[in-house]
Structure 1
Amino acid sequence: MKKQILWLACCLTTLTAFTQTEEKKWTLGVHGGLAQYKGDLGNGFYQTDQASYAFAGINVSRYLNNYFDLSLAFSRGEVGYTDHSSVGTALNPNHFLARHNSGNIAVRFHFTKPTAVVRPYLMAGAGLVWYESVFSLQKEHFVFSLPTVGGGFSFQFGPVVSLRLQESFLFTNADHIDGVTAGGDNDMELYHTVALTFNLGKQKDTDKDGVPDKKDKCSDTPTGISVDEFGCPIDTDKDGVADYLDACKDIAGLPSLAGCPDTDMDGITDKDDRCPTVFGPKELNGCPDSDKDGIADINDKCPGTKTGYKVDGNGCAIDTDKDGIVNEEDLCPELAGELVFKGCPDTDKDGISDKEDRCPTAKGSIENKGCPEIPKLDVQKITLIAGKIYFETNSDKLKLISNSALDDLADILKRNQSVNLTIEGHTDSDGDDAYNITLSQKRTESVKNYLISKGISEERLTPVGYGETKPIADNKTNAGKAKNRRVELKTSY
């Protein structure tokens, strides 16, 4: 027992650490105290007429939050009891002495936060007790202490060491450690514990600048940056921009410009501003551009250029075709033309610019969009051709007899490139209205597709189906119905 007390004293005088906090979540402690017994021989809890049995051990705990932590404790010592009211025999002993080794895990609930000087707490958990085969025991025993409950007080000695006073009750599942089982009471132990707890951590320094977070007013300083006593980066010119971010660290400037000055307040630092005393845009290195053509006034040879006009390197509006009309006003900027046609040429001199002339190499009229009038003979042929277009009964399929007439129509359209053609389809009144509309439309599409196959541009052809909505004869007679089943071809420019 003297050796155990000496070992405890050495531990208490050689270990130092820090108080457990959220920053320092692990603590290591040493503890010691007295163990008392309660069981079949009697109740020694809080009794002073019994011999004192000491124990000692170590403990470790893990911070969970401001009020809870998890503790694991290991203890080694002795426990015993003597019933002074009776005389013991071999069969009925009145005393026992055992050496125990216990391990207990418990959750502690603290009533105050870690910053409090005094922290009362309650604890509950479970453990395992190993009784060695010495003294009163002839063989070793392993028993459970379930539950283990208790409470105590933690006293904080500043930011370094804490002292704990604790009472813990071990309710074991054994009834034979004291050598008596007749009473039916399981063996129990009470630990009166004094402990010193020590933290294994250190003060948190998130940014690794040598200033603890509690004192650090700039806790996000990058690694390797020189800081002042408060952990903030050094700012030589006192402009609010730290030296490591300050492009002009010896001259007070603006935070938005990395600590450099901007005399004309145009957003460009004086050291990069070609015109540092005159407001100007960044893309022109800080120089003004009065006509907004992208050329700084100091380089602009045509300072009055209209806004939005593209200019050359001298600030003058571009005239690609060199016809005296700048591109923004020239409808044909790649071709030299005349002012009257806004820069476009008129090759056939018919008063219509090539840009608008459907027949730019042949004189025509404005009505025909610059193309010559379609010959009257061709107009007559188109009218005759319309009456020679036939379809299979109730079908949009062209009869073969129609091909010759449509070939002639294609030739006429090729000769007269300015002419557009509208193909109108009509039916008689037989059948459903919707069906007749659909049939007439499909028939005009068939004519259109045939002409396209002969080389006529689709843009020149407009198919329209009218069904029975535009009769030219009485649908009550067969002759009238025959006239109403027709295709009409109309030209336009």
Structure 2
Amino acid sequence: MLLVLGYSNVNAQDENNPWQITIGVNAVDAYPSGDNAPFSETVFSKFFDVDNYNILPSLSTISVSKYVGDGFSFGVTGSLNKIENWGEDANGDAIGVDDLSYYGVDGTIKYSLGERLNLDTFEPYLGLGGGYTWIDEIGAGTLNGTLGFNLWFSENVGLTIQTTYKHAFEDYLQTHFQHTAGLSIKFGGTDTDGDGIYDKDDACPDVAGLEAFNGCPDSDGDGIEDSKDDCPNEAGAAEFNGCPDSDGDGVADKDDNCPSVAGLKALAGCPDADGDGVTDGDDACPNTAGPAANKGCPWPDGDGDGVLDKDDKCPDVKGTVANNGCPEVTEEVQKTLNEYAKTILFDTGKASIKSQSESVLKDIIGILNEYPTSKFTVEGHTDSVGSEKLNQGLSEKRALSVKEYLVKNGVDEFRLSALGYGESKPIDTNKTRAGRANNRRVEINLAK
């Protein structure tokens, strides 16, 4: 009994704890007697008259029953008593007898009204069965009807009170009542994981868990059962499905690239001090806003011409916005360039450049390199002496000769083109020696 009482705080339902043992005392009431009329109008007239009761002042009843389902249970009861009063005389007084022995063995099928009515503490029940009763070693079979209730003090331990009407099949055994009061204990439920929740109601019968989660565990104790917890071994919040958010930035640690520093959801939990959309860890200028393409730093303008270096085709030379950060060739520069170009000298009737022209060509190269994105056309011109065809060919060769010299000495070939115009574009008269000298020239013009 002490062992079973130790389980009194364990959840108990009949289907979970199918066994019930009741130990108590019984009282045998032999009224009415003699008429064998079980359904007469006097059968309950002295039901509560204890003068007719025979009570043995010791444990005198034990019963064991097993729940079989749907509110039904089957049990066997053994009882003993000592009979001192058996029936009544004509005056209604109890008839005394000489301490007759009383033994009974009964089987009963009980139906729980408490389960049907969903009552937990107070559990009334009905029973029907039969047995065999001996009085002073003379026995007879009985048909029994039982009415009683269990009053549960805890989930497993309770008080049982019942009355059984025993109708005898033999005349020598009188019909009588047997009242019983005893301590009842339920036991026998299976709890594989020992978590106090029986396997029948345990959603996780092999793993110890909590009643709140139908027997399933919550390993990290965060109030979210493991099966629904994305981080079952780390206590977290329900809004993150049980995962922690150590830095409190609203991004669960498992999704947070910077779990120890509060950051932004848009940046996977990492901070962005300057608000430029580049996380501080990847930002070369974390306190100054700049584009991601420049690692979070503002684009520089090294030459101070108002065109950022990333867009400046001449980042080391101050230029103009209109010319993508490169300097523009002004009319003055163009004029200077052609003043130098006109002084380039060739051997008579040839395209070879005279050596004394190297210094002026060096000056021309210096000007061209100041405008690295500008394209130029080297143009050759002649006077009208000689045939037009010859003059055209000579102008083309001289223009090409100047271009090749410039390219050979550091000017990008892609920026230069060579054209010959022969005698078609004179700038002076061809009738005088001075005029013809002016017409024999090279021009370097900005390509449009």
TM range (shorter): 0.3 to 0.5
**TM-score computed with the length of structure 1 as normaliser:** 0.36
Which structure has the higher relative contact order (CA within 8 Å, separation 6+)? Answer: 2
Q: Which has the larger radius of gyration?
A: 2
**TM-score computed with the length of structure 2 as normaliser:** 0.39
